[in-house]
């Protein structure tokens, strides 16, 4: 019949074996990314020129063309848009830009690579 000391040692050894299996690895796992994989994008306040319809936007030194230009058919902004500007925000991510305002308007744009001016000027 085992003595009380032998049972205590066996219990302690069992507990140590169980607890050591839960320890964190000593070195980082090789399959864990070391840097973030997403890019943070923020919106900036923007006054979209709408006077002759919504066709283009210039953000800093980059020119963008609307994916789907908007106008009333007579060279004016569509009903419900400000004229000559609509205030909102624009978000640029890579070669894409999206304008949004508090009225629910959204316009998507794509970059015109190498452009140095607007496609057309409005009087």
Residue 33: pLDDT band (50, 70, 90) is very low
**Is the residue at 63 inside a domain?**
yes
Domains contained in the chain, number: 1
**Is the residue at 86 inside a domain?**
yes
pTM exceeds 0.75, yes or no: no
Determine the structural domain holding residue 103 and report its residue range: 43-111
Q: What is the pLDDT of residues 37-88, one digit of tens each?
A: 445 578 999 999 999 999 999 999 999 999 999 999 999 999 999 999 999 9
**Is the residue at 15 inside a domain?**
no
* Rounded distance between C-alpha atoms, residue 87 and residue 43, angstroms: 13
């Amino acid at each position: 019949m085992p003595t009380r000391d032998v049972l205590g040692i066996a219990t302690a050894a069992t507990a140590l074996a169980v607890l050591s299996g839960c320890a964190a690895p000593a070195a980082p796992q090789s399959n864990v990314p070391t840097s973030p994989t997403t890019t943070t994008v923020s919106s900036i306040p923007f006054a979209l020129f709408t006077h002759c319809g919504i066709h283009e936007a210039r953000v800093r030194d980059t020119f963008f063309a609307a994916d789907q230009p908007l106008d009333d058919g007579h060279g004016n902004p569509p009903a419900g848009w400000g004229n000559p500007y609509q205030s909102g925000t624009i978000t640029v991510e890579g070669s894409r830009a999206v304008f949004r305002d508090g009225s629910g308007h959204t316009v998507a744009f794509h970059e015109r690579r190498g452009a140095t001016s607007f496609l057309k000027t409005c009087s």
